[in-house]
Amino acid sequence: MSGALEYCWPIFNAFVLFGVFATIQATASLLTVKAGWNTSNFWITGSFFLYAMHFLYRPNLMAWLGGLLNPATPLAHLGFYLLMCLLVIGLAVGLYAILYKTVPTFTSVLVGGRIKR
């Protein structure tokens, strides 16, 4: 394999894991300290719902949309990737918004909240 880039996968995975946490921490610090923004409960719990839910429909959506659009060039692949990100986030947040309005107790249980009596 001449010219192929080989990774040390344990180190690469550790960098990815710590990079995700560092990005989240840096973003949270910038938004709360510098801008003074506060996040609503909908977005806090909705982000967990997105994380927990996206793997259920993303592979099927990607296979269906990939067969439909069939990207052939690198630019088309980039557009396909960005479209997939928008669709996956949009579908999960849309479903969460519907559940949040119609069945808030069930939604609270889904995202780890407690049932309020």
Q: What pLDDT is recorded for position 26?
A: 86
What single DSSP character describes residue 70? -
Q: What pLDDT is recorded for position 95?
A: 95
In the block, tokens 């910038």 appear at 30
For the chain, give every domain's residue range. 1-38, 40-117
Q: Tell me the per-residue pLDDT of 9-66, one tens digit each, with 9 for 90 and over.
A: 888 888 888 988 888 888 877 777 666 667 778 888 888 899 889 889 999 999 999 9
Does the structure show a pLDDT above 50 at 117? no
Query: Could you tell me the CA-to-CA distances from 97 to 54, 56, 87, 114 in Å, in that order?
Result: 15, 18, 15, 18
The span from the CA of 89 to the CA of 114, in Å, is 25
Q: What pLDDT is recorded for position 101?
A: 95
Does the structure show a pLDDT above 90 at 90? yes
CB 91 within 8 A of CB 50: no
